[in-house]
Structure 1
């Protein structure tokens, strides 16, 4: 792909993920919307013009946080029954002294989404999980530490137990946004893994290898690497990406199911095609499958593993069937 195309896709993907972030103006509206209210009423209460409030309301409706209805000549705004909105109002009630309208806006919420409660994570891992650059992560963490929402020790940064509701809100918010995006891809989509502005879905509709920023992934994608797998009528897609690597396909496969069948296919394709161990392990951390990935690396290095790992004979048979036979060394090509 040429540099110009790469630049375009980067801009496209940034725009696609930016639209699901919450703004201060949106959070301010949500903070006062506890029951149905008209645009006129909220406009006077917030000191915001109706035209501006109408734009904010449309955005909140797209994010599944409010509903809009006609009430005569007026537009009625109704708070949704969504979990994120319930948690947001609970946060405001439990911690009235904390300015959550500022702390949950923009990339700050993404950083929170990349963290864990009382489980220290280094900056590079928070950056990896939140899809935010390290400079921004450092900046956000400093502010959160000043508010005592985040703590730090020698292993990294963590969300204080007292503010676990903040993490719950972030997770539920991104899960809602991911679900809305998944349904726009296919009405029967089910989100199997949800991260910060990224997800893996399952659908019974095959839409091709790539559709906009959706990439076919999981076992069905193994055919791109010479290993045809019967899908069972279910297909997995990852969003957002314009390209996908073998390491990503492997980790996505393990994230949605690491049974005996999946391990046989994964071990075989890594044995034949080879892989970048550092890239595979970093992705495994993000998708919470590092344990099984390390076991796979050990297996490919010659260490015996019991069930659900396949026997060496099973791997060699699959290699002969699809790739004309293994190199008979029982080891993968680790790059």
Structure 2
């Protein structure tokens, strides 16, 4: 997320300063400070403007910087740049609730030893503690650390999508991935098309809409049907969307364990369980958002899907 140097620069930048003033405050060379500021400007965290012949620097209006400023001012005795460097912010992203080392390592995609190294200095300063069952918890007053990590990730996601379009809505996001709705076609390879249009890959063509949906990921090359189902439920949890998810689950050999794991990731656990129960009981157990079994059979016959 941020290096120690970047956190230190952001913490030292109050009001408007010149590059020379900031370099003096940081006790760093002009070349080092200039390179640092270029990275922060590209990330949308620092803005520059000309004032005569001088370039003035100031923090952007990113919400994450408000949180960082509050933390550094409220706890000015803490050396935040050293504490927040490396993987610490990645781990703190998932400390919105108590989590074990294994859970944090899995979610943040780091090794268990990295979690221990990241959180040990925080534990030493009373910022986090461990419960009797081994879960890490942020102490009262330091919950903003998780908010900071989440706001930084959200800011990065916004910058990423705004390189492609300025008309968009982020529907879901994690530390490194997000699901976005837009009216613009995005061809960049890390934006994978998802949503209703992708059901045609499984012989289930849906009516085209003006809205387009993309899943941004640097580690995924192709969406599984399990992931597509979960994306659809995030996009639209109405009866029509759930009916087409039922068709997909009936049409494709779905790995239910994988489906449930994906559902937990996207926060659609209950909806997925309702779909599975509906299919397993031939509609005898259904919620109000699911179709009558006879109506679903008619839809399945229309798409030549066996249920």
Q: TM-score, normalised by structure 1?
A: 0.83
2:202 corresponds to: 225
The structure 2 residue matched to 1:147, chosen from 112, 125, 128, is 125
| Counterparts in 2 of 1:169 and 1:212: CA distance versus 1, 3 Å | same
Distance in 1 (CA, whole Å) between partners of 2:230 and 2:46 is 35
Deviations 1:202-231 (A, max 9, x none): 0112346xx311101122221112211124
* Contact 2:122–2:128 (Cα < 8 Å) also in 1: yes
| Counterparts in 2 of 1:146 and 1:313: CA distance versus 1, 3 Å | farther
Q: Post-superposition shift, 1:290?
A: 1.7
2:250 corresponds to: 271
Gap runs ≥5 in structure 1: 1-20, 329-335
Query: Pairwise mapping of residues 12-91 of structure 1 onto structure 2 (< 5 A)?
Result: 21-91=1-71
Cα RMSD after superposing both structures: 2.0
2:103 corresponds to: 125
Q: Post-superposition shift, 1:30?
A: 0.7
Following TM superposition, where does structure 1 have runs of at least 4 consecutive aligned residues deviating by more than 4 angstroms? Answer: none
- Secondary structure of the 2:170 match is strand
Q: How many residues align?
A: 302
Q: Post-superposition shift, 1:321?
A: 1.8
Query: Pairwise mapping of residues 1-335 of structure 1 onto structure 2 (< 5 A)?
Result: 21-116=1-96, 119-153=97-131, 154=133, 156-207=135-186, 211-240=188-217, 241-302=220-281, 304-322=285-303, 324-326=304-306, 328=307
- Secondary structure of the 1:185 match is coil
Q: Post-superposition shift, 1:200?
A: 0.8
Distance in 2 (CA, whole Å) between partners of 1:151 and 1:256 is 37
Q: Post-superposition shift, 1:141?
A: 3.4
* Contact 2:164–2:186 (Cα < 8 Å) also in 1: no
Distance in 2 (CA, whole Å) between partners of 1:29 and 1:73 is 23
| Counterparts in 2 of 1:44 and 1:112: CA distance versus 1, 3 Å | same
- Secondary structure of the 1:142 match is helix
Q: Post-superposition shift, 1:90?
A: 0.4
Q: TM-score, normalised by structure 2?
A: 0.90
| Counterparts in 2 of 1:50 and 1:135: CA distance versus 1, 3 Å | same
* Contact 2:180–2:214 (Cα < 8 Å) also in 1: yes
Of the structure 1 ranges 273-282 and 87-96, higher mean CA displacement relative to structure 2 is found in 273-282
